């Protein structure tokens, strides 16, 4: 995939998603302070004095104090003064006071107001120390939540309003985060984790208390059945005490389902007087959307086939509000074992359910844009694949904004965040109107899920609509910003594929769209993907192939057109794959250059070729060293950038004993014209050693002739495409002939020799000799082959003298 911007951050505004309320510039500082040099460096906005409000409103007070200015001559963060200890204590007292008022408004517990304040002041101190502790241990907040239950502060709404109070104090906590040099988002994450642990501890303690009460009630029921009439009277009194005073809702019904008695706690849960419930049937409180298994379990219990069951069940209060309970329904039998009563015990878990719903929403939605996130998208996608029928199809549009990183780098991440929000809102409005799910996958990437797709045309039309929706500029902080996007499209039957494969296909297709020019859509192509997979497989196998000696070198002679003597030999690498057979360089050289393997592969070919060239030194009619053919080796651009190139060449020449003038490196025209700086200096060093430098495929690119004169080149090799038109003497293409003649004249004017590639007929060889070309290479003289073929040629063909 092409690089994408993933550095958009949710910012301080993300606090709202945690249920705490967003911070604002000028908000008061927090109620505690502890320095943390390791925290992220963030510049805090200035604090402002805000008048106090009435009890129950969010506390808004003046800053607590001054902290040292930590800026230096070299720059740094200018922080507000550190708050003093009396101010910190006052802030904690204020928070505890607000907390006590909040709890008292929903819970008239057994504690007097002053004891409740002292108890909550202690919990406030523990919360403050926990938030600033390092290392951070959020699970310690479980004990604080449990302490509320221990103090019997468990009224309906106590937990929710306690969290709401923390949300109202977020501006001061945010300023406190700045004072600690902490990232506010990281500090918000701490608060969210503390809330979760606080709620877990509260719920666990409440559940333990509930279970204890359940056991007491159940024991009382059993005792009442088994004791004598006198003991029964005592047990009844004990049961009535538990029944009346329990915070757990309890109802007793006959086996016919008619309610006989309820305790005050249950009546309070439903918001009705206690006398209104007896005489009604349990089934009257079952809702139409209750799962079928609840009705089945109740029927089994009523006929004595089940002793009890527990379930989380929703009811509706008298005022219409939902009531979530943890219901345990138990069967009580008479002395003969026949079903006699049903006992229902209900724990009000509405606060816990709301918190769970809120946390689940946060886990499945992007905090910056509010859109569904990657987790929710994958959940929907996997669900679609799990319930799909025959013939169902799915469509995906994988969207990535083009050049979004430039916005962040030039205008700042704040502008980038606002742009992402604006883009998400516009696209979501368009996609939601069409009935599809759109999610932010991260950074500037978005995904659209088309369920029950009607074909590729539908998804393509959706992608074109998305691109059209982005054409209108966005006005962000005084800037008119135009956004383009690339879209990868996948539309396929669900049968025979899976969510992971479909996502991978969308990711690959987005990469194709990016590489083909951006600002466009591309549809997934199975054949193209197969080629890409095969190409990647070859790339992955190359390092082991080089280590295992699967690469081989073939040789093709360069022949003087004047007398057909062998001037030189070109080394051509081949891959003898154990399963695919012989693989030509056109399939793997590009991969080697991309992966960097071309450097060790090039040195392997150089060493092999130089050793073979040294073997040919004594072959032919003449035994003088000066008449032996040179060896020509291709040099890749990445090799030119290798700082150890000259040193490696010197080592190979020394180890093989090959004279430098018998080694030639071939570079393509585009390579050598782009050579500058260090690579050009390395070529000049090689030329100064006596190594020959040749330009391969000359004429296929653009050459700056003035620059060409300054390069250490000794030979031009004319591309075979120009020689193609000279196959026959009578029908030779006059244009190709003139081009070749011009190239030969140009090379000779620069003092270079010329070799023509791709000679396949005698007519071509004769025509090129007449034009004045110095040498030729092609199947007419010899196909590439093993070193022994060159040995045979040298034995039978005179070498150049």
The answer to whether the beta carbons of residues 444 and 5 sit under 8 Å apart is yes
Chain center to CA of 615: 56
Percent of the chain surpassing pLDDT 90: 27
pLDDT for residue 108 is more than 60: no
The pLDDT value recorded for residue 168 is 75
For the stretch 499-526, pLDDT in tens is 999 999 999 999 999 988 888 999 999 8
Chain center to CA of 560: 60
The answer to whether the beta carbons of residues 756 and 775 sit under 8 Å apart is yes
CA distance 794 to 65: 95
The pLDDT value recorded for residue 80 is 53
Chain center to CA of 272: 52
Question: Which range is least confidently modeled, 161-170, 638-647, 667-676, 779-788?
Answer: 667-676
Closest among 160, 147, 54 to 103, alpha carbons compared:
160
For the stretch 600-651, pLDDT in tens is 999 999 999 999 999 888 664 444 444 689 999 999 888 888 889 999 999 9
**Residues contacting 397, CB < 8 A, separation 6+:** 447, 448, 450, 459, 462, 463, 466, 487, 488, 489, 506, 521
For the stretch 25-49, pLDDT in tens is 333 334 443 333 333 333 333 333 3
Buried b (16+ CB within 10 A) or exposed e, 487-512: bbbbbbebeeeebeebbebbbbbbbb
DSSP for 28-47, please give it.
PP-S-----TTS---PPPPP
**Residues contacting 618, CB < 8 A, separation 6+:** 628
Query: In the sheet where 249-254 sits, what is the strand order?
Result: 259-262, 249-254, 339-348, 322-333, 308-316
Chain center to CA of 252: 55
For the stretch 333-368, pLDDT in tens is 988 889 989 998 988 888 888 888 888 888 889 889
CA dihedral 525, 530, 534, 536 (to 10 degrees): 40
Question: Which range is least confidently modeled, 1-15, 384-398, 519-533?
Answer: 1-15
Which helix (H) or strand (E) segment holds residue 569: the answer is strand 566-577
Residue count of the chain, please give it: 801
Helical ranges in 332-455 per DSSP H: 350-364, 374-387, 404-411, 413-433
For the stretch 193-222, pLDDT in tens is 888 888 888 888 888 988 888 888 877 767
In degrees, rounded to 5, the angle at the alpha carbon of residue 194 between the alpha carbons of residues 190 and 195 is 115
The tokens for 170 are: 């977020």
The answer to whether the beta carbons of residues 799 and 620 sit under 8 Å apart is yes
Closest among 414, 423, 440, 415 to 12, alpha carbons compared:
414
The pLDDT value recorded for residue 351 is 86
CA distance 609 to 415: 59
- Which range is most confident: 167-176, 318-327, 565-574? 565-574
The pLDDT value recorded for residue 232 is 61
The answer to whether the beta carbons of residues 30 and 175 sit under 8 Å apart is yes
pLDDT for residue 293 is more than 80: yes
Q: State mean pLDDT over 676-697.
A: 87
Q: State mean pLDDT over 684-710.
A: 79
Residue in this structure with the two tokens 């000259």, named with its chain if needed: 646
The pLDDT value recorded for residue 201 is 85
For the stretch 277-291, pLDDT in tens is 888 887 777 787 788
Instruction: Work out the number of other CB atoms within 10 angstroms of the CB of residue 688.
Output: 11
CA distance 391 to 388: 8
CA distance 426 to 403: 19
Q: State mean pLDDT over 693-714.
A: 74
CA distance 665 to 244: 99
Q: Which residue has the higher pLDDT, 205 or 158?
A: 205
Task: Judge residue 264's burial from the number of C-beta atoms within 10 Å of its C-beta, 0-12 exposed, 13-18 middle, 19 or more buried.
Answer: middle
**Phi and psi at residue 323, to the nearest 5°:** -125, 115
* Cα atoms in the 13 Å half-sphere on the side-chain side of 134: 10
Chain center to CA of 103: 43
Give the residues across from 451 on adjacent strands.
Answer: 394
pLDDT for residue 776 is more than 60: yes
Q: State mean pLDDT over 140-161.
A: 81
**Peptide bond connecting 581 to the previous residue in cis, omega within 30 degrees of 0:** no
**Mean pLDDT, the chain, whole residue set:** 80
């Amino acid at each position: 995939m092409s690089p994408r911007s993933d550095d958009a951050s949710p910012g301080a505004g993300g606090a709202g998603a945690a249920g705490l309320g967003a911070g604002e510039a000028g908000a008061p500082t927090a109620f505690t302070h502890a320095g943390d040099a390791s925290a992220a460096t963030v510049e805090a906005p200035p604090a402002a004095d805000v008048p106090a409000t009435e009890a129950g409103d969010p506390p808004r007070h003046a800053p607590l104090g001054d902290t040292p200015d930590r800026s230096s001559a070299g720059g740094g963060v200018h922080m507000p003064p550190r708050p003093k200890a009396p101010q910190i204590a006052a802030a904690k007292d204020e928070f505890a006071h607000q907390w006590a008022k909040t709890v008292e408004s929903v819970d008239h517990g057994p504690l007097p107001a002053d004891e409740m304040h002292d108890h909550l002041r202690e919990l406030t101190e523990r919360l403050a120390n926990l938030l600033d502790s390092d290392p951070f241990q959020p699970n310690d907040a479980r004990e604080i939540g449990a302490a509320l239950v221990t103090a019997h502060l468990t009224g309906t709404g106590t937990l929710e309003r306690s969290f709401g109070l923390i949300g109202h104090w977020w501006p001061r906590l945010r300023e406190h985060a700045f004072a600690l040099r902490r990232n506010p988002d990281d500090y918000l994450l701490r608060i969210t984790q503390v809330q979760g642990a606080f709620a877990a501890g509260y719920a666990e303690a409440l559940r333990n208390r509930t279970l204890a009460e359940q056991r007491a009630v159940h024991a009382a029921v059993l005792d009442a059945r088994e004791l004598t009439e006198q003991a029964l009277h005592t047990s009844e009194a004990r049961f009535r005490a538990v029944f009346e005073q329990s915070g757990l809702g309890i109802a007793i019904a006959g086996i016919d389902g008619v309610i006989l008695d309820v305790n005050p706690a249950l009546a309070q849960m439903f918001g009705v007087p206690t006398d209104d419930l007896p005489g009604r049937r349990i089934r009257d409180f079952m809702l139409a959307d209750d799962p079928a298994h609840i009705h089945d379990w109740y029927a089994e219990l009523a006929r004595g086939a089940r002793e009890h069951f527990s379930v989380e069940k929703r009811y509706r209060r008298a005022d219409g509000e939902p009531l979530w309970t943890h219901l345990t329904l138990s069967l009580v039998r008479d002395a003969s074992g026949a079903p006699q009563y049903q006992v229902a015990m209900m724990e009000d878990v509405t606060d816990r359910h709301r918190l769970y719903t809120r946390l689940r929403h946060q886990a499945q939605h992007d905090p910056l844009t509010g859109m569904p996130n990657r987790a929710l998208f994958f959940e929907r996608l996997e669900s679609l694949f799990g319930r799909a029928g025959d013939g169902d199809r799915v469509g995906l549009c994988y969207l990535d904004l083009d050049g979004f990183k430039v916005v962040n780098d030039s205008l700042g991440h704040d502008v980038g965040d606002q742009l992402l929000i604006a883009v998400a809102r516009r696209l979501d409005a368009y996609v939601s109107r069409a009935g599809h799910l759109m999610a932010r996958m991260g950074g500037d990437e978005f995904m659209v899920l088309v369920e029950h797709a009607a074909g590729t045309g539908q998804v393509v039309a959706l992608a074109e609509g998305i691109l059209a929706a982005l054409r209108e500029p966005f006005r962000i902080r005084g800037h008119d910003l135009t956004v383009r996007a690339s879209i990868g499209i996948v539309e396929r039957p669900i049968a025979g594929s899976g969510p992971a494969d479909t996502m991978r296909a969308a990711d690959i297709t987005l990469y194709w769209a990016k590489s083909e020019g951006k600002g466009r859509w591309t549809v997934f192509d199975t054949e193209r993907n197969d080629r890409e997979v095969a190409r990647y497989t070859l790339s992955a196998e190359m390092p082991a192939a080089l280590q295992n000696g699967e690469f081989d070198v073939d040789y093709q002679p360069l022949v003087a057109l004047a007398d057909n003597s062998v001037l030189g030999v070109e080394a051509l690498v081949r891959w003898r794959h154990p399963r695919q057979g012989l693989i030509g360089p056109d399939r793997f050289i590009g991969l080697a250059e991309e992966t960097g393997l071309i450097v060790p592969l090039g040195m392997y070919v150089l060493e092999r070729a130089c050793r073979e060239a040294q073997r040919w030194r004594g072959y032919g009619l003449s035994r003088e060293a000066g008449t032996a053919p040179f060896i020509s080796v291709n040099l890749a651009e990445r090799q030119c950038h290798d700082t150890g190139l000259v040193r490696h060449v010197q080592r190979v020449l020394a180890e093989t004993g090959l004279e430098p003038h018998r080694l030639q490196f071939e570079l393509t025209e585009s390579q050598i014209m782009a050579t500058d700086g260090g690579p050009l200096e390395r070529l000049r060093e090689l030329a100064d050693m006596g190594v020959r430098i040749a330009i391969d495929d000359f004429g296929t690119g653009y050459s700056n002739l003035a620059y060409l004169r300054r390069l250490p080149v000794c030979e031009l090799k004319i591309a075979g495409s120009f020689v193609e038109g000279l196959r026959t003497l009578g029908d030779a293409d006059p244009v190709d002939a003139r081009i070749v003649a011009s190239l030969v004249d140009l090379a000779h004017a620069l003092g270079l020799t010329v070799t023509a590639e791709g000679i396949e007929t005698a007519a071509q060889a004769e025509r090129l000799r007449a034009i004045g070309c110095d040498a030729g290479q092609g199947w007419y003289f010899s196909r590439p082959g093993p070193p022994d073929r060159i040995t045979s040629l040298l034995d039978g063909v005179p070498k150049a003298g």
